Amino acid sequence: MVHDDEKLALDTQRLDVYLTSLQAEVEAKVRRVQRFREQMQQLDGGPSGKTNLANRQRAARALIAQVDLMLRTNLVVRELLQDLRSAAEAVLADVSEG
């Protein structure tokens, strides 16, 4: 019984680690979305409505780079979710055995 309780505690800790990692990734993604919005405003010309062509091109390239980064991050989030599911299944197995 003690072994089962230790296994459950370890699996629960692993679950918590995955949740913390997932939260950090999601918060980072929210910050990236905010930067994306800021870059979009530069494309619009900013508050004055006037921006030169070079600045708009730079802003558009920055948007593309940010989207590429978010796509890579999405894969990390997917992997974290899979790990989280696996950890939750381990907790379920621990509880079912006990």
**Which residue has 């950090």 as its token pair?**
24
- Could you list the residue range(s) of the whole structural domain that residue 73 is in? 2-97
Which pLDDT score, from 0 to 100, does residue 21 have?
93
Which pLDDT score, from 0 to 100, does residue 48 have?
58
Structure tokens at 43: 């494309």
Which pLDDT score, from 0 to 100, does residue 97 have?
83
Cα separation, 77 vs 70, in Å, equals 10
Which pLDDT score, from 0 to 100, does residue 43 have?
76
Query: Is residue 68's pLDDT more than 80?
Result: yes
Structure tokens at 3: 């072994």
Which pLDDT score, from 0 to 100, does residue 49 have?
55
Count the domains in the chain. Answer: 1
Query: Is residue 86's pLDDT more than 90?
Result: yes
Q: What is the pLDDT confidence band of residue 50, given thresholds at 50, 70 and 90?
A: low
